Amino acid sequence: MKNLTILIAIPVLMLLAACQKESFYQGDHFFVKNAGAEMPVFVKGNIASGTFILFLHGGPGGNASLPSFMPVSQELEKDFAFAYWDQRGSGLSGGNPDPATFTVEQFVEDLDLVVDVIRQRFNNPRIVIYGISWGGALGSAYLSTADYQQKIDGFICMNSGHNLEDGLPKSVVFVKNYAQQQIDLGVDVAYWTEARDWCAKEPDMTVVDNYFKYDSYLSNTNAYRRNPDQEVQGPEVGARGTMNSYLSLAIFFNGRYLAKRFNILELNLSKDMERIKIHSLVIWGRHDGVNTIEMGYDAYSSIGGPDFTEKELVILENSAHEGYMEEQELFINTFKRFVKGL
């Protein structure tokens, strides 16, 4: 009898979970398959607007699935449709792509397929590419390739890693300075002395082992959030909500596999970005320690070249790398103004 009770209880729990999931499945969902990868795209928001924001997540190895549940995303979805694409080897992507396909050129090809599917599936809507961090770099690479930019109506480039050749050494200096501040405050002096001295050696940041050593220090700074103790609104699903949505534990593991096999440490797209001649908005956190403010100025000056005028730079004065969470109201207002003005 006890076993029978358990057997009955399991379907009931599954049914309840299925009922709870309904609110998480609003919108459209499809996969783009290419070169061994099966990449999900979730389309949510105001599809009737005819304006689609194609979100390019960071990393490499982040995901677009979790950000789709952020309050800031849901606010913007009232005005625009958002297409959340998990890139190859990232997020909820599947298949079995060969690590040899982890190249900028392959990611650009994947992105172009996503763009074409959106255009065909939704009757040629306006498309705005919105890339954060690595996503900004991918957007820059895409718009600099062939005539792809003719398919796109606008570009929002936020805290991008478009030029790691110049940018990573600047971030190393950020870590060194942060370490010295902690030492002066008497905080974990042994650890931060080790970090400061390592950074002071000006390590070659094109070496993968050096990158992961630096990244271990960076993760303990305020490079991502100017005030790490600031309460911000994150994804609404939380840990429990993951069980009641399309999310899965894959978002925690796929990216780690990709990051170890996708070397972009010598990436420098600054010169290529002069080819971009579409309306562009560059948004940067003043206190970003990942891609420092100098790289924000570089992104702005690079897009379209020095004489191109259809671009704008907005600096979030109280933010680091995650200004979309740290200064949500300003970010949302800036985002809406730009897109509606296209």
- Give me the amino acid identity at 42: F
Q: Average pLDDT per run of 10 along the chain, which is 342 residues long?
A: 36 38 70 97 96 97 91 95 97 95 98 98 98 98 98 98 98 98 98 98 96 97 92 72 74 87 96 98 98 98 97 98 96 98 97
DSSP state string for 6-53 = HHHHHHHHHHHHHHHHGGG--SEEEEEEETTEEEEEEEEE-GGGSEEE
Which H/E stretch holds residue 316?
strand 311-316
Spell out the residues 6+ positions from residue 184 whose beta carbon is closer than 8 angstroms to its own: none
Domain 28-160+233-340 in this protein, CATH class: alpha beta
Report the alpha-carbon distance of residue 48 to residue 45 in Å, rounded: 9
Name 302's bridge partners. none
Look-up of token digits 């259809």: 310
Report the alpha-carbon distance of residue 13 to residue 17 in Å, rounded: 6
CB pairs under 8 A, 24+ apart, for 297-300? 298/162, 298/163, 298/166, 298/167, 298/270, 299/136, 299/140, 299/157, 299/160, 299/162, 299/163, 299/270, 299/273
Answering whether pTM is above 0.85, one says yes
pLDDT of residue 231: 83
**Of the candidates 34, 106, 56, 60, the residue with the CA atom closest to the CA atom of residue 257:** 60
Name 127's bridge partners. 52
Spell out the residues 6+ positions from residue 324 whose beta carbon is closer than 8 angstroms to its own: 70, 72, 132, 158, 331
pLDDT of residue 69: 87
295 near 166, Cβ under 8 Å? yes
Domain ranges of the chain: 28-160+233-340, 167-218
